[in-house]
Amino acid sequence: MLIVSNVNLTENDGAMKPTRFLNSSVRDYVLNINNDYRYMKMGYYVSLHAEVLGNPVVPRSENAIDAYRHPILLIKAAKHGIPTLPYMVTDSARQLIKKFGFPILIFAVNPFSNGGYRIANNETALYRALRSFGLNHKFTVCAQPLRGKMVSVKTVFGKNGCHGLSEEISRRFYEVFKLPICRLHIQECDGKAYLCGIQKIEIEELTAADLKLISEEIAQISRIGEKYWLR
């Protein structure tokens, strides 16, 4: 198993840096540990390069793209039984107000977004969000109703340490998309949790405890061996 990581894994000195891997033709099972898997970012290119070489890789580039394309994230999550809320893809404030009322969650669809969201409580805030996230109306946005409380959790191999409603969402998200590191935006309402969005994590946000958990998970994957890539 080859570990390719832009994260400083002190307990895994054999990890290869992404730039070195992209210039190699190594053949092996690849575990891609990266803080950013968005399209055209280093994490995405590592997975893509592994696939070009014919290597089994986690995560696959297709999953990385799907996770960071907001409507596709919601469709794929719902298809696999992960709870989600109704959504609309549009650039029309009137349509959103008519369908959801206020408050409204706004997520970007444009490929240059970092995955954050805004809450619009009135028309002025909604128009500002549409202009900002749509890059002056060049792109649509993906909107959902805000019915409860938003929580954002740091997820490492599907674990977030919250031991609540959001932890089950994190676990199931990882089972489907296999992104080792990310931040999930989750809405909790009426005693239930719903996946709303995903965002990259800055390397500086990873704590010593996170790095220890990553190393432990890598060790577990190593013990599982080839079966891990076939799940």
CATH of the domain at 109: 3.30.1490
**Cα Rg, the chain, nearest whole Å:** 18
Please give the structure tokens belonging to residue 104: 């409204």
Same domain, 106 and 24: no
Please give the structure tokens belonging to residue 70: 């907001």
Please give the structure tokens belonging to residue 103: 């408050």
pTM: 0.93
Residue-number span of the structural domain to which 137 is assigned: 88-145
Please spell the DSSP secondary structure of the chain, one letter per residue: -EEEESS--TT-TTPBPHHHHHT----S-EEEE-S--STTSHHHHHHHHHHHTT--EES-HHHHHHHTSHHHHHHHHHHTT------EEES-HHHHHHHH-SSEEEEE-STT--S-EEEE-SHHHHHHHHHHHTTTTTS-EEEEE--SEEEEEEEETTB-S--SHHHHHHHHHHHHH--SEEEEEEEEETTEEEEEEEE---GGG--HHHHHHHHHHHHHHHHHTTHHHH-
- What's residue 113's pLDDT? 77
Residues 6+ positions from 208 with CB-CB distance below 8 Å: none
Domain count of the chain? 3
pLDDT in 10s for each residue of the chain, 231 residues: 999 999 987 665 578 999 999 999 999 999 999 999 999 999 999 999 999 999 999 999 999 999 999 999 999 999 999 999 999 999 999 999 999 999 999 999 987 777 789 999 999 999 999 999 988 888 999 999 999 999 999 999 999 877 678 889 999 999 999 999 999 999 999 889 999 999 999 999 999 989 989 989 999 998 988 888 877
Alpha-carbon torsion (75, 70, 191, 163), positive or negative: positive
- What's residue 11's pLDDT? 62
Same domain, 185 and 76: yes
Same domain, 75 and 180: yes
Peptide bond preceding 18 in cis form (omega within 30 of 0): no
Same domain, 78 and 153: yes
Same domain, 36 and 122: no
Peptide bond preceding 71 in cis form (omega within 30 of 0): no
- What's residue 164's pLDDT? 77
Same domain, 131 and 178: no
